[in-house]
Amino acid sequence: MFISAGAATALGAVTVAGAANQAESLLVPVIAGWWIAAALYGLWLGRKHETSPPIAKLLAQARQATMLPEHRPGLILLNRLWPLLLSSLAAGALAFRFPQVAGIACGFAIIWALAWRHQEKAVTAIEERDGVAFFVDRTSPFKPIKLVRTQGFRRDPMPIA
Q: Is 9 exposed, middle or buried (0-12, 13-18, 19+ CB in 10 A)?
A: middle
131: left (phi over 0), alpha (psi -120 to 50) or beta: left
pLDDT, residue 95, reads: 87
Those residues of the chain that have pLDDT short of 50 are none
How far apart are alpha carbons 87 and 101 in whole angstroms?
A: 10
Tens digits of residue pLDDT in 109-137: 999 889 888 888 888 888 888 888 888 88
89: left (phi over 0), alpha (psi -120 to 50) or beta: alpha
pLDDT, residue 21, reads: 81
Give the number of C-alpha atoms closer than 13 A to the C-alpha of residue 66, restricted to the C-beta side. Answer: 0
pTM of the model: 0.74
Taking the domains of the chain in order of start, what are their residue ranges?
2-151
pLDDT, residue 41, reads: 95
